[in-house]
Amino acid sequence: MNQTRGQNGRADATHSEEVEATIERLYEEIRAANGDPQVRLAPDQPLESVRNRVVDGLFDGERFDFDESMMKENLDEILLLLIAARESDRHGKALIGDLTTVFDAHLSPGTVYPRLHELDERGTVDVKPLVRTKEYEIADEGAMTNRIESAMRQHLAMGMFLRAALSEL
Protein backbone atom coordinates (compact mmCIF):
# COMPACT_ATOMS: atom_id res chain seq x y z
CA MET A 1 0.00 0.00 0.00
CA ASN A 2 1.28 3.40 -0.93
CA GLN A 3 1.02 5.85 1.88
CA THR A 4 2.08 9.43 2.25
CA ARG A 5 2.90 11.20 5.48
CA GLY A 6 0.84 14.24 6.33
CA GLN A 7 2.05 17.24 8.30
CA ASN A 8 1.20 15.49 11.54
CA GLY A 9 3.41 12.52 10.64
CA ARG A 10 0.50 10.04 10.34
CA ALA A 11 -0.05 7.94 7.27
CA ASP A 12 -2.81 9.36 5.04
CA ALA A 13 -4.80 7.21 2.60
CA THR A 14 -3.70 7.60 -0.98
CA HIS A 15 -5.89 7.64 -4.06
CA SER A 16 -5.23 3.92 -4.75
CA GLU A 17 -6.51 2.98 -1.28
CA GLU A 18 -9.67 4.99 -1.87
CA VAL A 19 -10.24 3.25 -5.20
CA GLU A 20 -9.58 -0.13 -3.59
CA ALA A 21 -12.11 0.63 -0.84
CA THR A 22 -14.68 1.65 -3.45
CA ILE A 23 -14.11 -1.53 -5.48
CA GLU A 24 -14.38 -3.66 -2.35
CA ARG A 25 -17.59 -1.88 -1.37
CA LEU A 26 -19.03 -2.49 -4.85
CA TYR A 27 -18.00 -6.14 -4.71
CA GLU A 28 -19.73 -6.55 -1.35
CA GLU A 29 -22.90 -4.89 -2.66
CA ILE A 30 -22.93 -7.20 -5.66
CA ARG A 31 -22.38 -10.26 -3.43
CA ALA A 32 -25.18 -9.09 -1.11
CA ALA A 33 -27.52 -8.78 -4.10
CA ASN A 34 -26.53 -12.19 -5.46
CA GLY A 35 -30.12 -13.45 -5.30
CA ASP A 36 -31.44 -10.41 -7.18
CA PRO A 37 -31.88 -11.34 -10.87
CA GLN A 38 -31.72 -7.66 -11.81
CA VAL A 39 -28.03 -7.43 -10.86
CA ARG A 40 -25.88 -8.86 -13.66
CA LEU A 41 -22.36 -7.94 -14.61
CA ALA A 42 -22.76 -9.27 -18.17
CA PRO A 43 -25.56 -10.80 -20.23
CA ASP A 44 -26.40 -14.37 -19.22
CA GLN A 45 -27.20 -15.14 -22.83
CA PRO A 46 -25.33 -13.65 -25.80
CA LEU A 47 -28.66 -13.01 -27.53
CA GLU A 48 -29.60 -10.50 -24.81
CA SER A 49 -27.22 -8.00 -26.42
CA VAL A 50 -28.66 -8.78 -29.87
CA ARG A 51 -32.20 -8.20 -28.58
CA ASN A 52 -31.18 -4.87 -27.03
CA ARG A 53 -29.55 -3.65 -30.27
CA VAL A 54 -32.58 -4.63 -32.35
CA VAL A 55 -35.15 -3.08 -30.03
CA ASP A 56 -33.09 0.10 -29.55
CA GLY A 57 -32.60 0.40 -33.32
CA LEU A 58 -36.27 -0.10 -34.13
CA PHE A 59 -37.85 1.87 -31.32
CA ASP A 60 -35.19 4.49 -30.52
CA GLY A 61 -35.05 3.79 -26.79
CA GLU A 62 -38.82 3.47 -26.44
CA ARG A 63 -39.86 0.53 -24.23
CA PHE A 64 -40.89 -2.53 -26.19
CA ASP A 65 -42.18 -5.84 -24.83
CA PHE A 66 -42.51 -9.01 -26.84
CA ASP A 67 -46.01 -10.46 -26.76
CA GLU A 68 -46.05 -13.80 -24.95
CA SER A 69 -48.44 -15.36 -27.45
CA MET A 70 -46.01 -14.41 -30.24
CA MET A 71 -43.24 -16.01 -28.20
CA LYS A 72 -45.22 -19.25 -27.94
CA GLU A 73 -45.95 -19.27 -31.67
CA ASN A 74 -42.23 -18.99 -32.41
CA LEU A 75 -40.94 -20.96 -29.46
CA ASP A 76 -39.24 -23.69 -31.51
CA GLU A 77 -37.17 -21.17 -33.47
CA ILE A 78 -36.37 -19.15 -30.35
CA LEU A 79 -35.25 -22.27 -28.47
CA LEU A 80 -33.03 -23.29 -31.38
CA LEU A 81 -31.34 -19.88 -31.33
CA LEU A 82 -30.95 -19.93 -27.54
CA ILE A 83 -29.36 -23.39 -27.67
CA ALA A 84 -27.05 -22.42 -30.54
CA ALA A 85 -25.94 -19.24 -28.75
CA ARG A 86 -24.99 -20.99 -25.50
CA GLU A 87 -21.58 -22.57 -25.09
CA SER A 88 -22.61 -24.53 -22.01
CA ASP A 89 -25.54 -25.09 -19.66
CA ARG A 90 -27.92 -25.89 -22.52
CA HIS A 91 -30.43 -27.54 -20.21
CA GLY A 92 -34.13 -26.74 -19.94
CA LYS A 93 -33.89 -24.66 -16.77
CA ALA A 94 -31.19 -22.40 -18.29
CA LEU A 95 -33.22 -22.03 -21.49
CA ILE A 96 -36.31 -21.05 -19.51
CA GLY A 97 -34.12 -18.51 -17.70
CA ASP A 98 -32.92 -17.23 -21.08
CA LEU A 99 -36.51 -16.73 -22.22
CA THR A 100 -37.05 -14.56 -19.15
CA THR A 101 -33.74 -12.71 -19.45
CA VAL A 102 -33.80 -12.06 -23.18
CA PHE A 103 -37.52 -11.63 -23.84
CA ASP A 104 -39.07 -11.09 -20.38
CA ALA A 105 -41.27 -14.10 -21.19
CA HIS A 106 -42.38 -16.23 -18.28
CA LEU A 107 -43.15 -19.54 -19.93
CA SER A 108 -43.74 -22.61 -17.80
CA PRO A 109 -41.74 -25.82 -17.99
CA GLY A 110 -44.97 -27.43 -19.25
CA THR A 111 -44.76 -25.17 -22.31
CA VAL A 112 -41.01 -25.36 -22.94
CA TYR A 113 -40.07 -29.01 -22.30
CA PRO A 114 -42.61 -30.54 -24.72
CA ARG A 115 -41.23 -28.29 -27.46
CA LEU A 116 -37.68 -29.40 -26.67
CA HIS A 117 -38.85 -33.03 -26.88
CA GLU A 118 -40.49 -32.34 -30.26
CA LEU A 119 -37.29 -30.77 -31.56
CA ASP A 120 -35.46 -33.91 -30.43
CA GLU A 121 -38.01 -36.22 -32.11
CA ARG A 122 -37.63 -34.28 -35.39
CA GLY A 123 -33.85 -34.64 -35.20
CA THR A 124 -33.22 -30.89 -34.98
CA VAL A 125 -31.61 -31.16 -31.55
CA ASP A 126 -29.74 -33.94 -29.81
CA VAL A 127 -30.31 -34.67 -26.14
CA LYS A 128 -27.40 -35.62 -23.89
CA PRO A 129 -28.47 -37.07 -20.56
CA LEU A 130 -26.49 -35.68 -17.64
CA VAL A 131 -26.65 -36.73 -14.00
CA ARG A 132 -29.73 -34.72 -13.01
CA THR A 133 -30.80 -33.07 -16.25
CA LYS A 134 -30.56 -33.23 -20.02
CA GLU A 135 -28.52 -30.93 -22.20
CA TYR A 136 -29.55 -29.95 -25.71
CA GLU A 137 -27.36 -29.44 -28.78
CA ILE A 138 -28.17 -28.45 -32.33
CA ALA A 139 -28.13 -31.68 -34.35
CA ASP A 140 -28.68 -30.24 -37.81
CA GLU A 141 -27.47 -26.67 -38.29
CA GLY A 142 -28.77 -26.56 -41.86
CA ALA A 143 -32.28 -27.53 -40.76
CA MET A 144 -32.09 -25.00 -37.94
CA THR A 145 -31.02 -22.21 -40.30
CA ASN A 146 -33.73 -23.08 -42.86
CA ARG A 147 -36.42 -23.16 -40.21
CA ILE A 148 -35.40 -19.82 -38.69
CA GLU A 149 -35.02 -18.12 -42.09
CA SER A 150 -38.46 -19.37 -43.15
CA ALA A 151 -40.04 -17.99 -39.95
CA MET A 152 -38.15 -14.73 -40.43
CA ARG A 153 -39.43 -14.30 -44.02
CA GLN A 154 -42.99 -15.02 -42.91
CA HIS A 155 -42.86 -12.43 -40.14
CA LEU A 156 -41.15 -9.83 -42.30
CA ALA A 157 -43.65 -10.27 -45.15
CA MET A 158 -46.60 -10.07 -42.76
CA GLY A 159 -45.20 -7.00 -41.02
CA MET A 160 -44.57 -5.23 -44.33
CA PHE A 161 -48.07 -6.18 -45.55
CA LEU A 162 -49.68 -4.80 -42.38
CA ARG A 163 -47.67 -1.59 -42.67
CA ALA A 164 -48.58 -1.10 -46.35
CA ALA A 165 -52.25 -1.93 -45.75
CA LEU A 166 -52.41 0.50 -42.84
CA SER A 167 -50.94 3.28 -44.96
CA GLU A 168 -53.65 2.62 -47.61
CA LEU A 169 -56.47 3.25 -45.13
Domain map of the chain by residue range?
65-168
Which amino acid, residue 146? N
Instruction: Give, rounded to a whole angstrom, the gap between the first and last alpha carbons of the chain.
Output: 72
- Confidence (pLDDT) at 49: 86
Contact at 8 Å (CB) between 16 and 23? no
Residue 3 phi/psi, 5° resolution? -130, 150
- Confidence (pLDDT) at 32: 56
- Confidence (pLDDT) at 39: 46
- Confidence (pLDDT) at 41: 45
Nearest Cα to 81, choosing from 70, 73, 72, 90? 90
Q: What is the pLDDT along the chain (169 residues), one digit of tens a residue?
A: 444 444 555 555 554 555 555 666 555 555 555 554 454 444 567 888 888 888 888 888 788 999 999 999 999 999 999 999 998 889 999 999 999 989 999 999 999 999 999 999 999 999 998 888 899 999 999 999 999 999 999 999 999 999 999 999 9
- Confidence (pLDDT) at 108: 94
CATH of domain 65-168: 1.10.10.10
Nearest Cα to 97, choosing from 169, 40, 19? 40
